[in-house]
Structure 1
Amino acid sequence: GGILKKARELTVLCDAEVSLIMFSSTGKFSEYCSPTTTTKKVFDRYQQVSGINLWNSHYEKMQNHLNKLKNDNNNLRREIRQRMGEDLNDLDIDELRGLEQNLDNSLKIVRERKYHVISTRTETYKKKLRSLHEDHGKLVRSLERKDDNGDCALGDNGGPDYETALGWVNGGSQMFAFCIQPCHPNLQETRYGSHDLRLSGGSSTVTQLQPL
């Protein structure tokens, strides 16, 4: 605090332009600058009077870092061209062998990845196919149970056979005749006759039941 007080006194009593930058042993930063100037202006005046450029070393470091980045970029571009079969005239036999080995390794990795993708997709398609087979089997068993229970029977008077009906279920467009047997007790007591149910191309026609 004492040195900062002295800097303020110099500014007031001597009308001096003072810039003070201070770091303590613990790393604490303190600064003071006269109200009539800035720290940058003080540094610029110091460089003009002393002839010392405070930024040369920093500029040189930045320039060296920039040159290094440019060299790395050029090397990467040249390596890419060489992997594409270009810019090979300046390579000796050892460099060509090394490039060939790198290309073989890269090709091996690409092939392994390709086979992995093919295997994954194949397993996915197999699972989908098994699921479709299971759904088809469930549908067939459901139709067989309904046929055994007498809920619906295929017509015997010139109607389609069982395989043809399954073909319609799987997307066929033929016309079929089904004989509906009334199962409700009231319908049986009233002695309703059986009637035909005809399906064609997704449309259906049901004839109303008439008492016998």
Structure 2
Amino acid sequence: MGRGKIEIKRIENPTNRQVTYSKRRGGIFKKARELTVLCDAEVSLIMISSTGKFCEYCSPSTTQKKIFDRYQQVSGINLWNTQYEKMQGHLNKLKVDNNKLRKEIRQRMGEDLNDLETEEMRGLEQNLESSLKVVRERKYHVINTQTETYKKKLRSLHEAHGNLLAALEGRDENGDYMTGDNGGPDYEPAIGMANRGSHIFAFRAQPYQPNLHDPSYGIHDLRLA
């Protein structure tokens, strides 16, 4: 017993509609492939579902563009006129915007001012003043930032210099002279290394040794270690 005739109308249930579309789409593509093989036909098939999903089939012996070109020749309809006119309109709009921007740039540089009315020149002047104000604020901000950075670097260098001098004189962080085991100032630790090419010099402050016969009594004796 055969199936009853199905009434052709829109399927209201979304799930059933999608299932029916998927099944029948497969059948149509199958028939298109069979026509291509059995009849040596050039077949082009384009399908778009209600959800916007795009599917297409084209015979291996041709391309979609060739099919469209042949369709234009047979039907006498130019498929590209609408698209060409749309692109041409968009191009013209871009040209107008480009010319307008170029003219504004020239006017900001003091050119092409002859056609401007008094109000237009006043508006241009206000725009230039506003732009100049923004540029100056940005410039001062950059200068202040750089100044603060250099001040911090300078304070750091001064602090490092002071620490090196203190270490050279054998003083601690409070400015007091450090004492050794014998009660005198302790200058024994090495205080610096200097690398000059292949020669490395190590400078060391020796412990203070008073010399009563030396007229420079009281001056620290710095020697090369």
* Structure 1 unpaired stretches of 5+: 153-177, 183-192, 199-203, 207-212
Q: Residue type of the partner of 2:134?
A: I
Structure 2: unaligned runs, 5 residues or longer: 1-25, 187-205, 217-221
- 1:55-66 to 2 correspondence within 5 Å? 55-66=80-91
Provide the secondary structure at the position in 2 that maps to 1:32.
strand
1:151 maps to what in 2? 185
Residue aligning to 1:47: 72
Instruction: Tell me, in whole angstroms, the C-alpha distance in 2 between the residues paired with 1:21 and 1:195.
Output: 113
- 1:118 maps to which of 138, 143, 153: 143
User: Any idea what SS the aligned residue of 2:114 has?
Assistant: coil
Task: Quote the RMSD (CA, aligned, Å).
Answer: 3.5
Match of 1:181 in 2: 209
Contact 2:46 2:56 in 1 (8 A): yes
The equivalent residue for 2:125 is 100
2:49 corresponds in structure 1 to 24
Residues 102-159 of structure 1: per-residue CA shift (max 9 Å, x gap): 100011011111211222222233333433444455456553644997539xxxxxxx
Aligned-residue sequence identity (percent) comes to 73
* Inter-CA distance 181–77: structure 2 relative to 1 (3 Å threshold): same
Cα 1:77–1:195 shift into 2, 3 Å: farther
Residue pair 2:108, 2:124 contacting (<8 A) in 1 also: yes
* Structure number with higher relative contact order (C-alpha < 8 Å, ≥ 6 residues apart): 1
Give, in whole Å, the separation in 2 of the partners of 1:119 and 1:180.
Answer: 48
Q: What's the CA shift for 1:50?
A: 1.3
Counterpart residue type for residue 39 of structure 1 = Q
Of Structure 1 and Structure 2, the greater helix share is in 1
Which TM-score applies when normalising by structure 2? 0.59
TM-score normalised by length of structure 1: 0.62
